[in-house]
Chain A
Amino acid sequence: MSLPPSLRQSVTPPELELIACQQLVEIVPLISMEKTAFISGAYGPLRPPHRAKIPIWMAVNLKQKKKCHIIAPVWLTVEYLQQKLTQETTQAHFTQLPFRFAEISRVLLDVASDDLQNPDKLRTLLKDLREARQAKARAGLENLEHSTLGLSNLSAMEINEIRPFFIQAMAVLGQLQPVFNKDRNTV
C-alpha cells in the first residue's frame, strides 16, 4: 500500500499494523511466565507446553528471541485462503475476510514463517486476493456519488487506501450537486 506524500492524509500502513498487533494470537510458549500486568491488560501465565493467548506484539517479541512458537490463526491456511480466492474471483461483491487480515498476515509471515505451513503459497494467495479485491474496488468507485458509498467487507488496509481519494471526490461531487440543481431550477 504505497501512498505518495500528497495523499498521506490518513493513517499510514505501519500505524495500522501497530493497531492490528493488539489482537490476540495463540502461541506455544517455550518459557514460563507468571500472569503479568501490561498496560492493555494482564496476560499469562505461560506454562509450556500449554498454549496461551497473548497479543501479537508480545508474540512477535518472544518469537524473535526464540521463546515461543506462533500458531497460525484459522484463516491463515492454504485451504481457507484458496477457498476465499475462488469466491472472490467468481462473485462480484467482496468476500468476508477478517478485518485486519492484511496486516496480521504480513507480520506473521515476516516473523514466524517457519511456524506457518507453506508460507510461499500463502504469500501467493494473499497477493492474488489483494489484486482481485483491488480490481473490484476500482470498479466500485465508478458508482461514486456525493452522499453515500457502499462497499461492504472491505478490509482496514483497503479502506485506508481509498479513503483520501473518495473523501475528496465526494466533497467535489457534493459541491457540484447544488450547482446542477440550481441550473435545473433556473431553466
Chain B
Amino acid sequence: MVYLPPPQLASSSRLSYSDAYANILKAHRQSPLTSAASVIILVAPDVDALCAARMLADLFKQDDVMYRIIPVSGVAELERVRDELITVSELHTLILLNMGAILDLPSDEWFGDFSTKMSVHVIDSARPQNLSSLFGGGEAGDRIVVWDDGGAEELEEERKAWEALTYEPLPDSDDDSDQDEEPEPEEEDEDDDEEYEQRSGKRRSLGDGDRVGKRQRVEKERPRRMTHDEHDMYSARLEKHYMAGTWHGQSAAGTIYILATALERVDNELLWLAILGLTYQYTTSRISRSYYETYHAIYHDEVFRLNPPPPTGDNAMISLNPDDLSVRATEELRFMLFRHWTLYDAMLHSSYVASKLGIWKERGRKKLTGLLAKMGFSLLQTQQPYSHMDMDLKKSLVTKLGEIAPEYGLVELSYPSFMRCFGYRSQPLSAADAVEGISALLDVAGGLRMEVEVEGSRNGGEWFGGGKLWEATGGSRDTGRRKREERENIPPAGAAAVSNKSKRIGEGEEDEDAQAEGTKEVQWWVKNFWTAFDALSDIVPLRRALNLSMTVHRAIIEQGTSIIDKQDIRTMRNHRVVVLTQGPHLALFSHPGVLSRLALWLVDALRDRLPGTTVSRRTKRKSLPFVVACLNESMQSYIVVGVMAALDFGDVRKNEFGLAFLDAKERCNARTRHGSFDTSVLEINQEDLKVFLETLCEGPDA
C-alpha cells in the first residue's frame, strides 16, 4: 500500500506512524466484541523484533488494547499461521515485526484474501522492500501498511518503473515481447520456489492477456505506449532494486520508539529496548559503524533528556539507590561480555583481537599477555573475574587500551554505547551484554544440553570440574519442585506419564519417538522466545543467561580456532567455504543463529589474512564472501549460512547470498528449504550439498 513515512516527513495529507496507531486503537474500540484475537502481532525470532514486540505490548497495555503475540520462525511457518488466521473473523489488525518486507503482501498468496476491514502493518528492518507492498494500490493494496524509515522516499524511480510495468500495457511488437517478458519473473521475490514459479506463470499470462486483448483498445484510446527502451529501462531499474543484495534499515525497535515519541509517551523502558535493538544490529554486523553512530547520537540525547545527570568519579558504574533504573552512556569495548569474564578470556574470545594478534597460535597468545603487561595489568589480575579486578585498573582500562593497543594494530577498540542500572538487584548491565544474553536465550535456552561454568570453579575453586547443566526454568530448585508437585497432583496410575513429561520439560534429552520430536522441534523455539521475552523485563534471568551466552561463545571460539588450525577453509573460486561435519559442538551449530555467529567470527578473524575478492557482477568493490555449512545429523541435512563481509572493520556489504542461493538451487535442482526469514540461511539435503556448493561458487555467469 502506501507506505508510511516517519513523522518528520509527514504532513496533514500524508499519514504517519501516530495516525496508523490511532487507527489501530479506533478499530479496536469500535469492534463490537473485542476479543483477544482482534490485534495479533507476529514476531520474528531475533532480538530486534523481540524488543519491538515488548515495546508495542507496553504501549497497547497502556491503552487497554488486548493483543496476542505469536512467534514465527520462518516463511513456511508464516504461511501456516496465515492459513490459521484467515479463519479468525474478529481479526482487524495484524502487525508483522521484522518479517514480510520482501514478500508481495497484496497478492493472493499472502493477504489478498483477507477481509477489507483488516489491515496489515509491516515493521521490518530488512531491505529491499517489495515494491508492490509499498506502492500497490487498490483494495488489496490499501490494507498493507509499511512503516518506512524514509528510505522509500528515494525510491521514486523504482516507483515509476513498477507502476509502468504493472499497470501500463506492454509494448506490442510481435517478435521481441516474448523475450521482454523473460526478465520480469526474476525481478520479484526471493522466496520459496513455488511462489517463484507461480509468479512467473502469472506474470506471463497477465502479459499475454494484456497484449492480445488490449491491443485494439490501446491503439484507439491511449496515444502513448511504452517503447522497448523504456520497458528495458524500467525492468533494469527493478532488477537493480531487487538484485543488489539484502541489507538492513532502521531497526524495528527504533521505529516503535519513534512512534512513542510522536505519541509523547517515551520513558526509560522504551528507550532501553530501542537501544538494545540498535546494538543488536551493530554487533551482528547488520549496519555499519557510521549508521550506528547516527542513531547513537539520537539515543544519546534521549538518555540525557530522560535521565538525571549521571554521577561521575567513583559512582559512575554503580547504582545510586535501590530505585535507580537509569540509563547511562558509556564506552563499550569490543570484547565479548568482558565485564563478566576475566579480562584475558574476553580479549582472547573477541574476534577482532583474535584476528589482529593471531590468537590461535601460541605466539599470538604471548602477544596478548605482552599487551596486557604493557598496560600495567599483571597476569594474575587479568585471570581474575573482572568484578574482582582492582578498581583503579578497571578505571584506566579504556584509556590504557587507547594508548597502547594501536602498537599492536588494534584500533577502534571501543564504541559508544549505553548501560542500565537495576537498583540493588544487580550490577549495571551494558547494552551489548544484554543483547548477547537475549540472543543466547533465543538460540539455545531450551532443546539442547548446555553445560555452563560455575563461577569459582577455576583455579582450584570449591567445585572441581565445575560445570552445571543449564536449565531455563530457573535452576534445579524450580524443576525439582515442579516435578514433585506434578507427582502429587496426578492419580497413582499416571506415574509413568509424569516421568515422561518431566523429562521433556527439563533439558532436551534425545527422544526416540519421532512424533514427540516433531512437536518438541516446533516448540523449542517458541519456548526460547518466551524465555527471552521474559528476560527482557526481568534482570535476574537475564543475568543467568549471560553464563549461557559465555558457553556459546566458548564453543564458537573452539570451533573457529580448530577450523583455522586445521586449515579447513576451502577456496572455491571466489568464495571461502567451510563445512562442519564433526566436532563436539555439532548439535549447537545446527542452529542458524549460532552458525551465523560462527561465520561472523571467522570473517572477523580472517579479515586481514585473506585478500578480498570481487564477487558481485555489479560493483567492483572487494569483499569477503563466506559460506559455512553444518551438518544436522538428526535431520540428515546441512544448514548453510552465507555472509558477505566488507574488508574494513565496521563496514557492511549488501548480502547477495539470498539470490545466489536461489540461483544455485535452480541450476542444480537441490532439495532445499528456507527455514528462517533471513534469505541467506538455507537448509539443504545431505546428498545435495557438494553439488550445490560447486554450483554456488561457480557463479551465475558460468
Contacts and interface: CB of A to CB of B under 8 A. Distances in A.
A65 B323 contact: no
B61 A65 contact: yes
A113 interface: yes
Closest 6 CB pairs of A and B: A65-B62, A120-B321, A120-B322, A113-B323, A119-B323, A66-B62
Chain A: interface residue count, which band?
Answer: under 10
A123 B321 CA distance: 12
B267 interface: yes
Contacts of A66: 62, 265, 267
Interface string B213-228: 0000000000000000
Contacts of A113: 323
Interface string B239-276: 00000000000000000000000000101000000000
Interface in B312-363: 321-323
Contacts of B64: 65
Interface residues of B, number: 9
A114 interface: yes
Nearest to B324: A120
Interface string B57-84: 0000111100000000000000000000
Contact of A114 (B62, B63, B323): B323
Nearest to B61: A65
Contacts of B62: 65-67
Contacts of A119: 321-323
Contacts of A67: 62
Which of B61, B64, B322, B323 gathers most chain A CB within 10 Å? Answer: B323
A50 B61 CA distance: 25
A57 B265 CA distance: 23
A67 B263 CA distance: 13
A119 to B, nearest CB: 5
A120 B61 contact: no
Contacts of B322: 119-120, 123
Nearest to B64: A65
Contacts, number: 17
Main secondary structure of the interface of B (DSSP, over half): loop
Given A119-B321, A119-B323, 15 more contacts: A65-B61, A65-B62, A65-B63, A65-B64, A66-B62, A66-B265, A66-B267, A67-B62, A113-B323, A114-B323, A119-B322, A120-B321, A120-B322, A120-B323, A123-B322
A159 B62 CA distance: 37
Contacts of B61: 65
6 contacts: A65-B62, A65-B63, A66-B62, A66-B265, A119-B323, A123-B322
A113 B324 CA distance: 10
B156 to A, nearest CB: 40
Interface string A104-131: 0000000001100001100100000000
Contacts of A120: 321-323
A67 B63 CA distance: 10
A84 B681 CA distance: 67
A66 B268 CA distance: 13
Nearest to A114: B323
A51 B569 CA distance: 71
A123 B424 CA distance: 14
A61 B500 CA distance: 43
Nearest to B63: A65
Interface in A52-75: 65-67
B65 to A, nearest CB: 11
A120 B424 CA distance: 11
Interface in B360-397: none
A113 B62 CA distance: 19
A114 B322 CA distance: 12
A123 B423 CA distance: 14
Contacts of A123: 322
A120 B325 CA distance: 13
Contacts of B265: 66
A96 B267 CA distance: 39
B356 to A, nearest CB: 46
A67 B322 CA distance: 24
A119 B64 CA distance: 29
Nearest to B423: A120
A117 to B, nearest CB: 12
Contacts of B267: 66
A123 B323 CA distance: 11
A119 B323 CA distance: 8
Contacts of B323: 113-114, 119-120
A66 B267 CA distance: 10
Interface string B629-641: 0000000000000
A120 B62 CA distance: 27
Interface string B290-328: 000000000000000000000000000000011100000
A123 B61 CA distance: 29
A119 B321 CA distance: 9
Contacts of B321: 119-120
Interface string A85-117: 000000000000000000000000000011000
B420 to A, nearest CB: 16
Contacts of A114: 323
A114 B64 CA distance: 23
A114 B62 CA distance: 18
A119 B267 CA distance: 20
A109 to B, nearest CB: 9
Nearest to A113: B323
